[in-house]
Each structure stands twice: as C-alpha cells, then as structure tokens.
Structure 1
Amino acid sequence: MSRRCELTGVGPMVGHNVSHSNIKTKRRFLPALSPTSLQSESLGQTFKLRITNAALRTLDFKGGLDAFLVGARDEDLSARALKIKKQVKAKLAQVAA
C-alpha cells in the first residue's frame, strides 16, 4: 500500500535530520494519511479512501467530495478517485440534461 494521498497526490518528501553538531543525515517526511469514509451526494454512495488530514480539511472547505473531484486535476488523483470522478461527472451531466 503506497503512502500517497488518493485525492491530492501528496507523497513522502526527503530532508535531513540535523544534529546539535550540524551533522546531517537523510530522513523521510511521511504524509499524515488516514482511512476515511466519504459521502458522495450526487451518487448517494460512501467511498473509503486514504487521504491526508489536509485534504480532509480541503474537502470541508470546497463543499464535499463531489465539488472537490470536479475541480481536481486528473494527474493528482489515484485510479480509484479518477473512477469516482467520472461517475460523478456523468451523474451531474445526466441531471443537467
């Protein structure tokens, strides 16, 4: 299971531990991932995704999963999130027509 957010694409970053004597050793900064159940209003379904805590706050700000996915870039989304995005767009187009 990869350490990557399924909605924002955030993954591990690389940096240094710096000691008191200024010796630098490599380390990894891992994203704060949490498994979350997200509700889609247009589809009426619940989806389990592993997303960062920052992405969860962004979902609340944007107005839910559907609004976030419609505005998200395809390169950042995982394969599961991309599939959900296509379903949401099809359902919104069906409702608008």
Structure 2
Amino acid sequence: MSRICELTGKGRQVGHNVSHANNRTKKVFLPNLQNVTLLSEMLDRSFKFRVSTHGLRSVEHNGGLDNWLLKTRDEKLSARALKVKRELKKSAKEAAAA
C-alpha cells in the first residue's frame, strides 16, 4: 500500500538529518495517514479512504467530501476517489434534470 493521501496526493518527502557537526544523513518524511470513513451527503453513502490529517482538515474546511471532490483536480485524486467523483457528477446531473 503506497503512502500517498487519496484525496490530496500528498506523499513522502526526502531530506536530511543534520547533526550538530553538520553531518548529513538521508531521511524520509512520511505523511500522517489515517484510515477514515467519510460521508457523502449527495450519495447518502460512506466511503473509506486513507487520508493525511492535513487532507482531513482541508476536506472539513471546504464543506465536506462532496465539495472537496468536485473542486479538486483529477490528477491529485486516487482511482477510488475518482470513481466517487464520477458518481457525484452523475447524481448531480440527474438531480438537475429532474
């Protein structure tokens, strides 16, 4: 399982540990990923995602999962999130047509 946030695309970063003597050793900074269940109000369903804590705060700040998915570019989203986004667009079209 890759260490990438499914909603924001945030992944690992590489840097250095720098000692007092200025010795540099490689270090990997991993995002704080959590398994969460998010509720879609438009679809009236819940979805399980692996999301960074930063991404979770961003989703809540933007008005929930539905608004976040509709505003976010497809390149940032995982395959599972893209599938949910397509379902949201489909249900929005059906609601507008009715």
Q: Answer whether TM exceeds 0.5 for this pair.
A: yes
Cα displacement (A) at 1:93: 1.2
**1:4 aligned onto 2:4:** yes
CA distance in 1, matches of 2:26, 2:17: 6
CA distance in 1, matches of 2:26, 2:47: 36
**1:37 aligned onto 2:37:** yes
Structure 2, gaps ≥5 residues long: none
Q: Which structure 2 residues correspond to residues 2-81 of structure 1 after superposition, within 5 A? A: 2-81=2-81
After TM superposition, what 4+ stretches of structure 1 lie above 6 angstroms from structure 2?
Answer: none
Q: Which residue of 2 aligns with 1:92?
A: 92
Which letter does structure 2 place at the counterpart of 1:20?
H
Question: Alpha carbon RMSD of aligned pairs, Å?
Answer: 0.5
Which letter does structure 2 place at the counterpart of 1:40?
S
CA distance in 2, matches of 1:54, 1:96: 33
CA distance in 1, matches of 2:92, 2:51: 24
TM-score by length of 2: 0.97
Which letter does structure 2 place at the counterpart of 1:91?
S
Overall identity of the aligned pairs, in % = 53
